[in-house]
Chain A
Amino acid sequence: MATKDISPQNPMIDPETGEQRVIAPGHTFRSITEKLTRIVLTPHTPLGWFFGFTLAGSIAMMLLVAVTWLFLKGTGIWGITMPVAWGFAIINFVWWIGIGHAGTLISAILLLFKQKWRNSINRFAEAMTLFAVVCAAMFPVIHTGRPWLAIYWLFPYPNTMNYWPQFRSPLMWDVFAVSTYATISVVFWYIGMIPDLGTMRDRAKSKFGRFIYGQMALGWRGSARHWMRYETASLLLAGLATPLVLSVHTVISFDFAVAIMPGWHTTIFPPYFVAGAIYSGFAMVLTLAIPIRKFYHLEDLITLRHLDNCGKVMLATGFIVAYGYMTDIAYAWYSADKWEFFMAWNRIFGPMGWSYWILIFSNIAFPLTTLWSRRLRQNVVYLFIVSLIVNTGMWFERFVIVVTSLTRDYLPSSWGTYRATRWDYMTFVGTMGLFTALFFLFIRLLPMIPMSEIRQILPGAKINEAELQHKGGD
């Protein structure tokens, strides 16, 4: 947007910087608290919430049906076959775990970078992380076919047969990476919520509400000592969570890259997987934030500044992803390895080439040509559409990596194809229902925007030097 397009009368524009404001002007500590606690403590649940939760819950039922049938019949109900022994389960796992990364990046890395704009969106982005990890973690467990035995196969424990998992396998590293990630994310999310839970306890009208929020608030009184410990814990957890943003998807990229399959064994995978994860994660943040701010009238707290910044992060990470695609093809040729080159050719022009072109359109051609525009980055409808397109594209990226690579490897005699079954689709769509249902519960039961952190960036939280001098406090 050119400078002249900015209206000086627009109250959402900060006249000093010419940027969109992080919070709309006119808010006070009281107005923030009332606005956000009312969403949770109101006895009148909006009809729209019931509708959304019912719809999401119904879709989640599909997951229940599909998983029940899976446990009864085994993984033979899925479309996996030889040579595509990994199908939707691993694609969905990588896709969901990638989505979670944006939450950790917003809550941990942006905290360390002192980015105040994160305050409005970090709570629900972290919730998104947790629910995405729940959906993701389900797949490695159910794909074993007999998950009640999975613990014996996945976790190292002393046993009489002296039988251990293969520690050199990245699938084993996944177990540790994902469980560490889930643990730190839950703790970070909960610790960050304690001051707000104290507020909820104090403002809850019902006895039950006071009891539940009181228990969860762990005796928070807001004393200086409590705040000091809270800040220290937040910084320490942010420090612990930051490497996890890189490590989890890196380990997942190793699932593919340490194998010597053409198309999988490439060193660009770790950074390109991490960038892809953040790309899709921010897309999901937008997918969630845009309807929520509309439905709950939170446009003054989740402003166009947040949406614009999410768009910028997507642009940056999208280009890293594009760099990954480009180097993948360039090095397939430069490697002078005919199998690598064939794999690149097969991805683009082979029988499943259509999936490659979907990902190129969804991840590169559409978003990376339009996200440059500030005007579009501040257009809510466009952002919502682009977020859906990128999430679709990132799913197809994993489809191309997993399925297209496996259908045609070294021996033409072992080439095959892959066709997902209805149970594959039901399981995948069902996890979307589960994710959305969990999210509906979250926004109904807990403060989705951190009140305590929003208060810190209000003008009232700033020290007024003149006033201090007047009082002799200099």
Chain B
Amino acid sequence: MEYGNHAHQLPTDLGAPAPVLRWRFRAMSATAIFAVLSGIDLLISHRFDYVLRGWLMGLMICLSFCIGGLALLMVQWVTGGKWGLLLRRPLEAMSRTLPLVFLMFLPIAIFAKRLYIWARVTDPQAALHAGLIDAMQAHAIAYKRPYLNVEGFWIRGVAYFIIFGIFVYFLNRWSLQRDFDTQHGNRFWQKRFENLSGPGLVVYSLVLTGMCVDWVMSLDPTWFSSMFGFMFIVSQGYAALALAILMVLALAQYEPIQSIFRVTEQHDLGKLLFAFVMLNIYMAFSQYLIIWSGNLPNEIRWYMDRITGGWGPIAGLDFLFHWVLPFFLLLSRDLKRNKRRLATVCCIMLFARFWDTWWLIAPNFSGDSRNLHFSFGMLQYIFVPAAMVALWMAYYFTTLRTRGLVALNDPHLPEILEPEHAHA
């Protein structure tokens, strides 16, 4: 490959740098610590339900990183752009964590009856007369039975992973093949990736909508919002992009990412992050405004459950972490071009995803809806997701080490190896 006179040269070893091993060890240590804390908390509280709720929260966050990474990977194949080359290998590694996320899903499916009221209540009318559920819940459970049933939950859940698995497999396999391919030109590979990623994004949007309805929306069977799937798509992009940028910023201290990392692309990534911050608030606010204006009993209840009884400040802080802080920070051009500060914003955004996922899940359960209070069980919303995400990170670092961090044979590579101009 021809490079310009002043171009950086790629190092011979394109593998993940040694510190990744250290990060993996830290992640595994964190997994062990939080798992032990969760166990102690379970012994104190005797509330296994809270472990499952925390598990669902952890699953949704790990799913955001894994499937969100896959979606961004497909977006960069379809749209092109140099930022894609910078993020490609970290995103591919995120998508390859799918088997672990599938394992994380299994306890949710196995203990579906302890999490989902529609799975627990087999006879809605009897449950209504026994005072276990109200009339609205009884109607919704009976009406939605053809969709909300345990068998369907299992079948759909497995199907979702198989479908995503196909895209993960081919995108990762072809990417590696392309690195060492000397027969086919760039055009061949570009078309191949585009032809898979274009339909892949359509499939992704449909499957993810099914996932979020099954796993989160159905926690409250009376609740529905046609924008919910779209919101999840955007929030996955929000989380996966923040994590991918954080990873690249950390890896940029070492070779080989150091050679291809330029402030210009960092700035572009900061702008992309800003776009997701805006899209996310756009979705969240639109949904809220429409439901608040309609003020219909079967819709407003979902919001009332999570803005009254002590949940109001949590919703306010969600707004602060999710939008106010990243928005005002990312307005700054200097911040987007400063590694440490951009990494801080990414951390805030990841924390915001934790916060928001808790706010989405916890108030669905009677006892906690409209009634935020401290209990030892509640601590499982910290310990279990933290242990799961730490485990996911450890697995992620393992997958990151399995291939070179710079994709070869990419048409953007010569350009990205050029030193940038001072004004860029």
Contact = CB atoms under 8 A, between A and B. Distances in A.
Interface of A: 2-3, 6, 16-18, 112, 168, 243, 246, 250, 254, 257-260, 265-271, 315, 319, 323, 326-328, 330-331, 334-337, 372, 465
B411 A258 contact: no
A372 B200 CA distance: 13
Contacts of B228: 267
Interface stretch (B161-169, B240-248, B288-296, B368-376): B288-296
Interface string B1-44: 00011000000000000000000000000000000000000000
Given A260-B294, A260-B296, A336-B140, A267 B287 contact: yes
A315 to B, nearest CB: 8
B84 interface: no
A17 B198 contact: no
Interface of B: 4-5, 139-140, 143-144, 147, 185-188, 190-191, 198, 201-202, 205-206, 209, 213, 222, 224-230, 271, 278, 282-283, 286-287, 289-291, 293-294, 296, 298, 411
Contacts of A315: 198
Nearest to B286: A270
B294 A265 contact: yes
Contact of A267 (B205, B227, B298): B227
B205 A3 contact: no
B296 A3 contact: no
- For the complex of A and B, the 3 pairs showing the least CB-CB separation, nearest first, are A258-B293, A268-B226, A267-B227
Contact of A271 (B147, B206, B230): B230
Contacts of B286: 250, 267, 270-271
A337 B227 contact: no
B227 A270 contact: yes
Nearest to B225: A267
Contacts of A270: 227, 282-283, 286, 290
B411 A267 contact: no
B293 A16 contact: no
Nearest to A169: B293
Given A270-B282, A271-B230, A257 B290 contact: yes
A257 B293 CA distance: 9
Contacts of B289: 254, 258
A39 B218 CA distance: 61
A3 B185 contact: yes
A473 to B, nearest CB: 13
A267 B5 CA distance: 55
Contact of A268 (B227, B271, B293): B227
B226 A3 contact: no
Contacts of B222: 336
B198 A372 contact: yes
A31 B205 CA distance: 46
A181 B71 CA distance: 32
Contacts of B186: 17-18
12 contacts: A3-B188, A17-B187, A168-B293, A250-B286, A258-B293, A266-B226, A267-B227, A267-B291, A270-B290, A327-B226, A336-B143, A336-B298
Contacts of A168: 293
Given A267-B227, A267-B287, A336-B140, 11 more contacts: A2-B191, A254-B293, A260-B294, A267-B286, A268-B226, A270-B227, A270-B286, A271-B227, A271-B283, A331-B225, A334-B224
Nearest to B224: A335
A319 B233 CA distance: 14
Contacts of B205: 319, 323
B187 A3 contact: yes
Contact of B230 (A6, A112, A268, A319): A268
B414 to A, nearest CB: 11
Contacts of B190: 18
A111 to B, nearest CB: 12
A3 B190 CA distance: 10
Contact of A246 (B147, B185, B282, B411): B282
A244 to B, nearest CB: 13
Given A17-B411, A323-B205, A334-B147, A250 B291 contact: no
Given A250-B286, A258-B290, A327-B209, A337 B185 contact: no
A177 to B, nearest CB: 14
A257 B227 CA distance: 12
A246 B229 CA distance: 19
Given A246-B282, A254-B289, A372-B198, A6 B187 contact: yes
B115 to A, nearest CB: 19
A334 B144 contact: yes
Contacts of A260: 294, 296
Nearest to A372: B198
B285 to A, nearest CB: 9
Contacts of B230: 268, 271, 323, 327
A17 to B, nearest CB: 7
A2 B205 CA distance: 27
Contacts of B287: 267
Contacts of A328: 226
A336 B227 contact: no
B290 A265 contact: yes
B354 to A, nearest CB: 24
Nearest to B4: A465
A2 B282 CA distance: 40
A334 B282 contact: no
A18 B185 contact: yes
Nearest to B271: A112
Which of A6, A243, A326, A334 has the most chain B CB atoms inside 10 A of its CB? Answer: A334
Given A243-B278, A254-B289, A267-B290, A337 B298 contact: yes
B61 to A, nearest CB: 23
A17 B144 CA distance: 51
Contacts of B290: 254, 257-258, 265-267, 269-270
Which of B226, B293, B294, B298 has the most chain A CB atoms inside 10 A of its CB? Answer: B226
A328 B225 CA distance: 10
A258 B191 contact: no
A384 B190 CA distance: 27
A188 to B, nearest CB: 19
Which of A168, A267, A269, A336 has the most chain B CB atoms inside 10 A of its CB? Answer: A267
Nearest to B146: A333
A267 B143 contact: no
Nearest to A329: B226
A27 B373 CA distance: 71
Which of B147, B187, B283 has the most chain A CB atoms inside 10 A of its CB? Answer: B187
A323 B210 CA distance: 12
A250 B289 CA distance: 11
A112 B333 CA distance: 14
A271 B298 CA distance: 23
Contacts of A18: 185-187, 190
A17 B411 CA distance: 8
A3 B186 CA distance: 10
A258 B206 CA distance: 26
Nearest to A260: B294
